[in-house]
């Protein structure tokens, strides 16, 4: 995400940091590069122009010029102005007032609207809400069944009447059903079209007027860049949007839609789709996204994801076993399963300051790393329970059997076992308060 923009911006700040006091010419030269980087990232030209003007005014102020580290101060200014451009406030759903609070999801076909409805239901449940999914897309083939299937996948009830009834009536009866059965939010999955047309908009207006929703959220594909901004403007003019969900953000190396859409439309971003998994919907925080754009990582999001995915008691038990040297291959496999729930290795590294730069090195290959994790998992799953608990019993014949069963080589099995023994030895030494040999240089 934002890979090209991040690389360009980091190059600009690296050049600035090599200077002492910054002259007006230094600032202007740097901001020319920033402006080009924004335009290449498909940021709307007016948004880029206004952003550069605000940054320049502040970068030439006495506060920055009088600083002992002017380059760092300029970076701070850019960070703060990115937050302003992105809207300043975190995205939140309004569920106050009527119960259930109706939330309409609108958008074009292919933007991920139905999937986002299910993802949003799961997210709201984590926030203590009881959402009801309401299937009002009676036009697209299998749209109702898709929502029902997704509802079963996450264990969430779906209100549906098939495809024969009017979407307006389905929405009204769905909200009424939610009221009678104690749901707190009703997520209305409306029909999309291949392109905006009068009939589509008229129907959305009718649904909006019938249920008077707390929120009207547009689901737009970030990969379409400025087209997503144009779509948002058209929907906003007709149905008065209250928020935006940008999908496929993890695949958008440019990021123009995310950086432009709030400034152009005035509609706040509320959620970002960060992958295909049903858990891959993140609440939008402008400050966190700004830091990721600047290559500074996002530890808060990583911590929140870890807390959601990992059982705290189990994590404490695992930590104790590690320190005592009692960590087994079963424990190792369990930890791998938890990590996989958080996303790909590349996505996790992107959130860690410093380590996020690894993903941009030529030798880093996310596909290769994911493949290696699958090989390790296959090797461990090919072992018996006794072998996982006591790897010392793995003689030559057992290792050949495991290699054959996992589709790997004996050398790969040996490599995994050697690395596992080394990790156990290091943890034992740390548990005794010693620094393992070879680790001291890491902290120099």
**Which residues have CB under 8 Å from 416's CB, separation 6+?**
376, 379, 380
User: What is the CATH number for 250?
Assistant: 3.40.50.300
Structural domain contains residue 119: yes
Do 318 and 431 reside in the same domain of the chain?
A: yes
pLDDT (tens digit, 9 = 90+) per residue, 239-298? 999 999 999 887 666 677 888 888 889 899 999 988 778 888 888 888 888 887 877 655
pTM flag (> 0.95): no
Angle at 121 between CA 336 and CA 268, to 5 degrees: 100
pLDDT (tens digit, 9 = 90+) per residue, 324-340? 656 788 877 777 776 66
Do 45 and 166 reside in the same domain of the chain?
A: no
Q: Which two tokens stand for residue 367?
A: 């596909």
Q: What was the pLDDT predicted at 439?
A: 39
User: What is the CATH number for 25?
Assistant: 1.20.120.140
* Domain boundary residue, one of 85, 119, 134: 85
Domain that holds residue 168: 101-286
Distance CA 59, CA 49 (A): 15
More confident residue, 425 or 354: 425
**Which residues have CB under 8 Å from 62's CB, separation 6+?**
none
Structural domain contains residue 92: no
Q: Which of 290, 333, 236, 240 has the alpha carbon at shortest distance from 80?
A: 290
Do 218 and 109 reside in the same domain of the chain?
A: yes
Number of structural domains (the chain) is 3
Q: What is the 3-state secondary structure (H, E, C) of 221-234?
A: EHHHCHHHHHHHHH
Do 25 and 126 reside in the same domain of the chain?
A: no
Do 40 and 125 reside in the same domain of the chain?
A: no
Do 200 and 153 reside in the same domain of the chain?
A: yes
166: exposed, middle or buried (C-beta count within 10 Å: 0-12, 13-18, 19+)?
Answer: middle
Do 19 and 151 reside in the same domain of the chain?
A: no
More confident residue, 297 or 18: 18
Buried b (16+ CB within 10 A) or exposed e, 121-135: bbbbbeeebbbbbbb
Do 113 and 144 reside in the same domain of the chain?
A: yes
Do 166 and 234 reside in the same domain of the chain?
A: yes
Q: What is the mean pLDDT of residues 49-73?
A: 80
pLDDT (tens digit, 9 = 90+) per residue, 182-238? 999 999 999 887 777 888 899 999 999 999 999 999 999 888 888 888 899 999 999
Distance CA 370, CA 427 (A): 25
User: What is the CATH number for 387?
Assistant: 1.10.260.30
């Amino acid at each position: 995400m934002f890979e090209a923009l991040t690389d360009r911006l980091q190059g600009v700040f690296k050049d600035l940091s090599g200077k002492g006091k910054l002259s007006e010419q230094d600032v202007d030269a740097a901001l020319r590069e920033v402006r080009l980087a924004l335009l290449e990232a498909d940021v709307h030209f007016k948004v880029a122009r206004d952003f550069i003007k605000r940054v320049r005014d502040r970068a030439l102020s006495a506060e920055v010029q009088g600083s002992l580290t002017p380059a760092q101060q300029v970076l701070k200014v850019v960070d703060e102005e990115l937050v302003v451009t992105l809207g300043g406030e975190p995205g939140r759903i309004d569920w106050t007032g009527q119960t259930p609070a109706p939330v309409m999801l609108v958008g074009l076909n292919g933007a991920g609207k139905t999937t986002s409805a299910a993802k949003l239901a799961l997210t709201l449940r984590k926030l203590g809400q009881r959402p009801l999914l309401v299937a009002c897309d009676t036009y697209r083939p299998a749209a109702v069944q898709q929502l029902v299937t997704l509802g079963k996948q996450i264990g969430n009830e779906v209100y549906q009447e098939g495809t024969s009834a009017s979407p307006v009536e389905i929405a009204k009866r769905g909200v009424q059903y939610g009221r009678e059965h104690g749901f707190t939010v009703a997520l209305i999955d409306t029909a999309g079209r291949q392109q905006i047309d009068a009939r589509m908009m008229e129907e959305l207006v009718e649904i909006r007027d019938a249920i008077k929703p707390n929120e009207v959220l547009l689901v737009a594909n970030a990969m379409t860049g400025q087209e997503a901004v144009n779509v948002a403007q058209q929907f906003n003019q007709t149905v008065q949007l209250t928020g935006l969900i940008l999908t496929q953000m993890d695949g958008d190396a440019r990021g123009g839609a995310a950086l432009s859409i709030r400034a152009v439309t005035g509609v706040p971003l509320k959620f970002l789709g960060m992958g295909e998994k049903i858990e891959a919907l993140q609440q939008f925080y402008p400050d966190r996204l700004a830091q990721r754009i600047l290559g500074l990582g996002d530890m808060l999001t990583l911590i929140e994801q870890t807390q959601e995915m990992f059982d705290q008691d189990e994590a404490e038990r695992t930590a104790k076993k590690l320190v005592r040297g009692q960590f087994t291959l079963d424990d190792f496999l369990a930890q791998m399963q938890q990590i996989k729930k958080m996303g790909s290795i590349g996505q996790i590294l992107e959130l860690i300051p410093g380590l996020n730069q690894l993903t941009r090195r030529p030798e880093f290959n996310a596909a290769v790393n994911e493949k290696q994790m699958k090989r390790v998992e296959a090797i461990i799953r090919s072992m018996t329970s006794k072998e996982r608990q006591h790897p010392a019993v793995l003689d030559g014949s057992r290792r050949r059997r495991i290699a054959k069963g996992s589709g790997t080589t004996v050398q790969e099995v040996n490599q995994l076992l050697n690395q596992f023994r080394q990790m156990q030895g290091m943890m034992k030494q740390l548990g005794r308060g010693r620094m393992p040999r070879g680790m001291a240089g890491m902290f120099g």
